Amino acid sequence: MTLATEMDVCLRLPTRVLYQGMARKLFAVAENGAFGMLPNHIDFVTSLVPSVLILTLADGSEAIFGIDEGILVKKGHQVEVATRRGVAGENLDSLQESVRKTFIEVDEDERVARSALSRLEAGMVRRFASLQKRGT
């Protein structure tokens, strides 16, 4: 492997790509603590916890993301991050508000969906029970 000054980073959500581009440095938080990564870092895989992921881009600027739990895979000069939820932010203050708003809205939607599913399951069980009583 040749020495590189940049790595290709792809941050994926279940429905779309949140970020795709080159970075000089990556900072993330795994289950066993925070870590930094440069382009020539050894290949590895780790689980990420809900936290802030920071990329130092080729021009020296930073891209900041709030992420939910996920997985990071580094192979060669490619870094793939897959996470359930994520948002980009201009700075840490705006990121905190975006994370709160986005993740709370998603949690509420998931709660409503689970509630509807529970009602459907309960209805099916009642229906099967009534069919079984008729057959007896």
Residue 87 and residue 66 in contact, taking contact as beta carbons nearer than 8 Å:
yes
Q: What's the confidence (pLDDT) of residue 4?
A: 86
What pLDDT does residue 77 have? Answer: 93
Per-residue pLDDT, 51: 87
User: Looking at the DSSP assignment, which residues form a beta bridge with residue 23?
Assistant: 7, 57
Query: pLDDT value at position 13?
Result: 93
104 is a domain residue: no
Question: What is the value of pTM for the model shown?
Answer: 0.70
Q: Per the domain annotation, does 56 fall within a domain?
A: yes
**Strand pairing category for 78-83 and 70-75:** antiparallel
> What contacts 24+ positions apart, CB below 8 Å, involve 67-75?
67/11, 68/103, 71/45, 71/46, 71/47, 72/28, 72/30, 72/45, 72/46, 72/47, 72/48, 73/45, 74/7, 74/37, 74/41, 74/42, 74/43, 74/44, 74/45, 75/43
Domain that holds residue 52: 7-90
For residue 58, tell me if it sits in a domain: yes
- Inside any domain, residue 39: yes
Question: The domain spanning residue 48 has which CATH number?
Answer: 2.60.15.10
The per-residue pLDDT for 129 is 81
109 within a domain of the structure (yes/no): no
| 16 lies in some domain | yes
- Specify the pLDDT at position 20: 97
> Domains in the chain: how many in total?
1
3-class DSSP state of 12: strand
More confident residue, 109 or 3: 3
DSSP 42: P
pLDDT digits (tens, 9 = 90+) for 91-130: 776 766 676 667 666 666 677 677 788 888 888 888 878 8
At residue 75, the pLDDT reads 95
Q: What is the pLDDT of residues 20-65, one digit of tens each?
A: 999 999 999 999 999 999 999 999 999 999 889 999 999 999 999 9
pLDDT of residue 95: 65
Per-residue pLDDT for 135 more than 80? no
Is 12 within a domain? yes
Residue 71 lies in a domain: yes
